[in-house]
Amino acid sequence: MIMTEFRILRYDPDKDKEPHFQTYTFDSPKGMTVLEGLIYIFENIDSTLAYRAMCRGAVCGSCAMHINGLYNLACRTQIDNLGGKVVLRPLAHLPIIKDLVVDLEPFWEQYKKVQPYLIPKQQAPEKEYLQSEKDRKKLDPWVDCILCAACYGSCPVEATDPKYLGPAALMKALRFIDDSRDGNSKERLAFVASDFGVFRCHTIFNCQKVCPKTLDPTKAIAKLKMKALFG
């Protein structure tokens, strides 16, 4: 057991004017994750604490937050690796509702804007569309996105321009542009090249740095810029 300290940014809309830090200390067994620490606090010390969590296996995207200076998933972060002192804040650029829970609606609104569904090139065949392995592999870098919004929180452009589509939504657009079954590339490219699209990106690489699935939205945006400019 190791004495562990969690400093958590807290905000209760019922009574707080602004967020403030609260510190919790408890003994944590070796191998405990930040999420398990939060659950421990919630179940044993303070059940008013609010955070989102679901799969605890780094695939659902619920528990993205700001952990000791970096955006990451709480479930895949070991307390040991943080030296026993954990500082948690909610995702940035999204209004705080309570404690570590932010209003994700702006994030989903951007996502919906890119028409995040296949617009087929041709009428569906009787069986599956044939897609070569090579064409399928083009999707690999983009389709594993779990929509956790860590990239959105880390992106400084979002801080100044809430209309910016953001890394996750843009990567989603590329996922369909790169899909041999999709027939809407032209319109998709025109849209992502519009006022609040790829050219707002300052190529700061934060999204690449924080993505918990080690995807590369920065590269996706660069690729979209190239396609928009040169076809």
Partner 1 sequence: MMFHDVLVIGGGLAGLRAAIAAAEKKADVGIVTKLYPPRSHSGQAQGGINAALANNPKAADDTPEKHGFDTIKGSDYLADQEASIFMTEQAPEAIFEIEHWGCPFSRTDEGKIAQRPFGGAGYPRTCYGTDKTGHYILQTLFEQTIKHDVKTYNEWVVIALVKDADACCGVITLNMHSGEVQAIGANAVIFGTGGSARMYGNTTNALTSTAFGVAIPYWAGVPLKDMEFVQFHPTSLYPSNILMTEGCRGEGGIMVNNKGERFMSKYAPKAMELGPRDIVARGVMTEILEGRGFEESYVHLDLTHLGKAKIMERLPGIREITLDFNGLDPIKDPIPIQPGTHYCMGGIDCSIDGSTPLAGFYAAGECACVSIHGANRLGGNSLLDGVVFGKKAGAAAADYVKDKPKQPRKEALDRTLKKEREMLDRMQKANGTENPYTINAELNKMMPLKAGLFRDEKLMSSGLEEIKAFKERFKKIRPVAPGTSFNFDKIWVLEIKGNLDVAEALMAGGLARKESRGGHYRTDFEKRDDKNFLKHTIATYTAEGPKISYSDVQITKYQPVERKY
Q: Which is nearer to partner 1, 48 or 194 (CB)?
A: 48
* 179 is a site residue for partner 1 (CB under 8 A): yes
**Interface with partner 1, residue 194, by CB under 8 A:** no
Residue among 57 and 230 whose Cβ is closer to partner 1 = 57
Q: Quick one: which segment of 16-24, 117-125, 155-163, 218-226 binds partner 1 (CB under 8 A)?
A: 117-125
Candidates 17-25, 114-122, 163-171, 223-231: pick the segment binding partner 1 (CB under 8 A). 114-122
Binds partner 1 by CB under 8 A, chosen from 17, 18, 69, 128: 128
End-to-end CA distance of the chain: 58
Asked if 27 is part of the footprint of partner 1 (rule: CB under 8 A), the reply reads no
Q: Under the rule (CB under 8 A), what is the footprint of partner 1?
A: 12-14, 31, 39, 42-44, 47-48, 50, 53-62, 76, 97-99, 101, 103-104, 108, 112, 116-118, 120, 124, 126-133, 135-136, 139, 143-144, 146-147, 176, 179, 181-182, 213-214
